[in-house]
């Protein structure tokens, strides 16, 4: 059994009376434990809707979403599902509930009735995982955007989830903040947490083990970054190749050769050195 | 006469409290009309504080020492301050969060109405502004701005600023949060606005690739001070300074450095992928040429030896 399963999921929401927008159309999908999935697509492709279906924030209009075998449709499962799948949103300023950082992180475990000693242990561990231990008694308002998102991730980690969902969590951050968050996501993934990163940044997609591209509410592509970048279909989905891949393409036109599709700076540099040395 | 003139500008937040922070330190800056400035700097370096001085949103603290003027209108003089606000159009980060009109037309009309323009002039400007940002008037004017897509909302917000026809357009992170299609549309729009409405543009950005591609001049701030000012090539050439200011290099410059470290001979002032591709193509051709030449000279060298031995053979016969 896969950790996450979508079976023929559709989701539409009413805009006006008698007028619905179909955000997702008959999407079936399975994600296994330990995967690092980038869920990509242009604005309006349905990627954020899909994310919100994964922890029961939305319930499918049709079909079924199973998290570790539990259907999101059953109210009795909601609590358990939210513990399993934690979500970090786009705007770092909208996610803090407490003024002091450690209180903010303790909020989740407190809510599910964890013992005090265990809460302290969880908060310590979560802060350490995101490199924010020294900030524990500071106020959140004085932090940078990247630090706020790290605190938000720590808040999710304190629930000891199996799945971390990043819903465009880096899109409001500067390049340093973006890198901080991606490094943490990779580290957590190595420790066994399944990561789902919703993004339209293809450099972020390139570090995932699997890229799922949505277009108009349907899955347009599903494969490794290399497969997806090689497909020639990204532009049609409103996305662009990462700069290193674009450069490698331009170089191939003038006689350079690379081993398959270039998705990292290292592959690009190795390929160029092979030809020029 | 320069378009923007800033002299000895200082600014301190929360003065005389434990939270006192000097956000700007002795800023001196002139910008000519027609320039496209990329204003860069790490979070907290003073970029936003600086641009908010340009149209008087933040008041100049020390009026004796400092001055800020745009096209001769001083930000410290009450009489010119109001005119200055219309001279400098400020597009904030995520400007779509500031839409408030119940229709797109009303939202865009807010600025020109404040300028006390005649009703038909307001209408003319609203039409023009929507047209320039690529939103068809008849299709969008009567819609609620809240029913639009993210990219469309941002266009409406920009239209609301350019409807005042400012001579200077200042944009704070104009493409933040947009998908690739939205990004390139808005970047192209900014170039178009510079051509058609606001000849002087200042864009605040964390994206060095965009800035290297678009700006004539990069101004880098660090802890409230200008630490670099010049063409993208000149500014990004100073790797140490860029690192100290907490900035990224353009991707092409970064890759160039990695290649140079591996012994590939490239110029230091590459700032775009196109340039890098061209330089690498040159190196490859040169390499091929060299290889050809050495192959040729090997061939001739060998042929000559063969000829000589043949000759000597003949000699033997004689």
Which residues of chain B make contact with A168, given a CB cutoff of 8 A? 177
Instruction: Please judge whether B180 and A200 are an interchain contact, meaning their C-beta atoms are less than 8 angstroms apart.
Output: yes
A34 within a domain of the structure (yes/no): yes
Name which of B43, B181, B274 is nearest A42 (Cβ-Cβ).
B181
pLDDT band at B313 (very low <50, low <70, confident <90, very high): very low
DSSP element (H, E) containing B178: none
Chain B residues inside the 8 Å CB shell of A249 = none
CB contact under 8 A, A43 and B150: yes
Average pLDDT value for residue range B180-196: 94
Put simply, whether the predicted model's pTM sits higher than 0.90 gets the answer no
Q: Collect all residues from B whose CB is shorter than 8 A from any CB in A.
A: 42-44, 147, 149-151, 176-182, 206-207, 209, 246, 248, 251-252, 254-255, 258-259, 262-264, 273-274, 276-277, 280-281, 283-284, 287
Closest chain A residue to B150, measured at CA: A43
User: The domain that contains A124 carries what CATH number?
Assistant: 3.40.50.300
**Could you tell me if A25 and A79 lie in one domain?**
yes
Structural domain contains residue A40 = yes
- Shared-domain flag, residues A70 and A118: yes
Into how many domains does chain A fold?
A: 2
CA distance B155 to B197: 15
| Same domain assignment for residues A269 and A224 | no
Of A41-45, B33-37, B117-121, B232-236, the one with minimum mean pLDDT is A41-45
**How high is the pLDDT of residue B228?**
96
| Three-state SS at B302 | helix
* A163 and A127, same domain (yes or no): yes
B179 confidence band (pLDDT: 50, 70, 90): confident
Which residue on chain B is closest to A249 by alpha carbon? B277
Q: HSE of A140 in the Cβ direction (CA atoms, 13 Å)?
A: 23
Band of the pLDDT at B149, cuts 50, 70, 90? confident
Question: What is the pLDDT, as a whole number, of residue A33?
Answer: 97
Question: In which band, very low, low, confident or very high, does the pLDDT at B205 lie, cut at 50, 70 and 90?
Answer: very high
State the nearest Cα–Cα gap between A160 and chain B, in angstroms: 29
Residue A224 CB neighbour total at 10 angstroms: 14
By the 8 A CB rule, do B37 and B231 touch?
no
| Beta strand residue intervals within A111-249, DSSP E | 163-167, 194-199, 210-215, 218-223
> B206 and A175 in contact by Cβ < 8 A?
yes
Assess whether pLDDT exceeds 90 at residue B314: no
Contacts of A178 in chain B (CB under 8 A): none
Residue A190 and residue A114 share a domain:
yes
Domain that holds residue A207: 4-231
Answer yes or no: is pLDDT of B77 > 70.
Answer: yes
Residue A15 above 90 pLDDT?
Answer: no
With a cut of 80, say whether residue A266 has pLDDT above it: yes
Q: What is the mean pLDDT of residues A139-165?
A: 92
A208 and A246 together in one domain? no
B283 CB neighbours in chain A (<8 A) are 276
| Mean pLDDT on A163-189 | 92
Say how many C-beta atoms besides its own lie within 10 A of residue B8's C-beta: 13
Residue B306 has a pLDDT of: 54
Determine the Cα angle at A200 with ends A14 and B94, to 5°.
70
pLDDT, averaged across chain B = 91
The answer to whether position A236 is within a domain reads no
Closest to A247 (Cβ–Cβ): which among B176, B264, B277? B277
Residues A130 and A188 in one domain: yes
| Same domain for A153 and A90 | yes
Contact A145, A90 (CB under 8 A): no
Confidence at residue B318, expressed as pLDDT on a 0 to 100 scale: 40
Mean pLDDT, residues B151-161 taken together: 94
**What is the least distance, in Å, from the CA of A102 to any CA of chain B?**
22
Amino acid B290: pLDDT:
82
How much is the ipTM here? Answer: 0.81
Tell me the pLDDT band of A83, cut-offs 50, 70 and 90.
Answer: very high
> What is the Cα–Cα distance from A127 to A157, expressed in whole angstroms?
9
Structure tokens at A8: 């023929």
Could you tell me if residue A259 is inside a domain?
yes
Same domain, A157 and A86: yes
- Ranges of H-type helices in B64-149: 78-87, 104-114, 119-132, 137-140
Q: Which residue has the tokens 């191939």?
A: A252
Taking any CB pair shorter than 8 Å as contact, residues of chain A touching chain B are: 15, 42-44, 90, 144-145, 168, 171-172, 174-177, 200, 202, 238-240, 243-244, 246-247, 250-251, 254-256, 265, 268-269, 272-273, 275-277
Is A237 part of a structural domain of the chain? no
- Chain B positions touching A145 (Cβ under 8 A) are 43
Residues A215, A247, single domain; the answer is no
Say if A75 falls within a structural domain.
yes
Q: What is the mean pLDDT of residues B282-289?
A: 89
Tokens found for residue B281: 């193509």
One domain for residues A93 and A202: yes
pLDDT band, residue B317 (cuts 50/70/90): very low
Is the model's pLDDT at B247 over the cut of 80? yes
| Residue A21 lies inside a defined structural domain of this protein | yes
Query: pLDDT tens digit string along A187-237?
Result: 999 999 999 999 999 999 999 999 999 999 999 999 999 999 999 999 999
| pLDDT tens-digit map of A181-196 | 999 999 999 999 999 9
The pLDDT value recorded for residue A61 is 95
Answer whether A171 sits within 8 Å of B176, measured CB to CB: yes
Same structural domain, A103 and A190: yes
> Exposed e or buried b for every residue in B156-173, given b needs 16+ CB within 10 A?
bbbbbbbbbbbbbbbbbb
CB contact at 8 A, A139 and A124? no
């Amino acid at each position: 059994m896969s950790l996450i399963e979508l079976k023929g999921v559709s989701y539409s929401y009413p805009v006006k009376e008698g007028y619905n927008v179909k955000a997702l159309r008959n999407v079936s999908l399975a994600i296994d434990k330990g995967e690092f999935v980038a869920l990509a697509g242009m604005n309006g492709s349905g990627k954020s809707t899909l994310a919100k279906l994964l922890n029961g924030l939305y319930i499918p209009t049709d079909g079924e979403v199973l998290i570790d075998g539990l259907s999101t449709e059953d109210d009795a499962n909601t609590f358990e599902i939210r513990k399993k799948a934690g979500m970090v949103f786009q705007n770092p300023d909208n996610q803090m509930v407490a003024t002091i950082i450690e209180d903010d992180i303790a909020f989740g475990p407190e809510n599910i009735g964890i013992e005090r000693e265990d809460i302290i242990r969880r908060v310590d561990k979560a802060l350490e995982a995101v490199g924010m231990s020294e900030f524990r008694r500071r106020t959140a308002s004085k932090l940078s955007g990247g630090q706020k998102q790290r605190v938000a991730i720590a808040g999710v980690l304190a629930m000891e989830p199996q799945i971390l969902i990043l819903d465009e969590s880096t899109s409001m951050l500067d390049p340093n903040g973006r890198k901080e968050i991606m490094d943490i996501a990779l580290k957590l993934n190595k420790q066994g947490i399944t990561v789902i990163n919703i993004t339209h940044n293809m450099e972020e997609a390139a570090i995932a083990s699997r890229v799922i591209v949505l277009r108009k509410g349907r899955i347009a592509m599903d494969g490794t970054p290399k497969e997806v970048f090689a497909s020639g279909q990204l532009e049609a989905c409103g996305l662009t190749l990462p700069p290193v891949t674009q450069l490698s393409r331009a170089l191939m036109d003038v006689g350079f050769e690379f081993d398959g599709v270039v998705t990292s700076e290292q592959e690009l540099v190795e390929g160029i050195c092979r030809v020029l040395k | 006469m320069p378009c923007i003139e800033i002299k000895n500008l200082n600014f301190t937040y929360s003065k005389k409290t434990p939270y006192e922070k000097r956000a700007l330190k002795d800023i001196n800056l002139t910008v000519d009309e027609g320039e496209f400035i990329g204003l860069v700097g790490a979070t907290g370096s003073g970029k936003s504080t600086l641009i908010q001085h340009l149209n008087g949103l933040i008041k100049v603290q020390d009026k004796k020492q400092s001055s800020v003027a745009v096209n001769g209108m001083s930000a410290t003089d009450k009489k010119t301050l109001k005119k200055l606000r219309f001279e400098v159009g400020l597009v904030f980060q995520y400007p779509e969060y500031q839409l408030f009109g119940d229709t797109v037309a009303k939202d865009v009309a807010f600025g020109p109405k404040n300028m006390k323009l005649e009703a038909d002039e307001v209408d003319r400007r609203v039409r023009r502004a929507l047209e320039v940002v690529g939103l068809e008037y008849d299709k969008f004017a009567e819609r609620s701005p809240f029913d639009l897509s993210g990219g469309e909302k941002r266009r409406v917000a920009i239209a609301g600023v350019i409807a005042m026809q400012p001579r200077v357009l200042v944009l704070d992170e104009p493409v933040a949060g947009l998908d690739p299609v939205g990004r390139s549309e808005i970047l192209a729009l900014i170039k178009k606005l510079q051509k058609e409405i606001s000849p002087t543009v200042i864009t605040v950005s964390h994206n060095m690739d965009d800035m290297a591609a678009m700006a004539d001049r990069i101004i880098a701030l660090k802890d409230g001070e200008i630490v670099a000012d010049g063409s993208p090539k000149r500014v990004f050439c100073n790797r140490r300074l860029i690192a100290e200011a907490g900035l990224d290099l353009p991707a092409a410059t970064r890759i160039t450095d990695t290649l140079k470290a591996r012994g590939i001979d490239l110029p230091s002032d590459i700032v775009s992928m196109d340039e890098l591709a061209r330089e690498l193509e040159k190196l490859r051709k040169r390499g091929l040429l060299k290889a050809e030449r050495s192959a040729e000279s090997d061939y001739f060298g060998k042929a000559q030896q063969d000829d000589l031995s043949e000759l000597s053979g003949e000699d033997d016969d004689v």
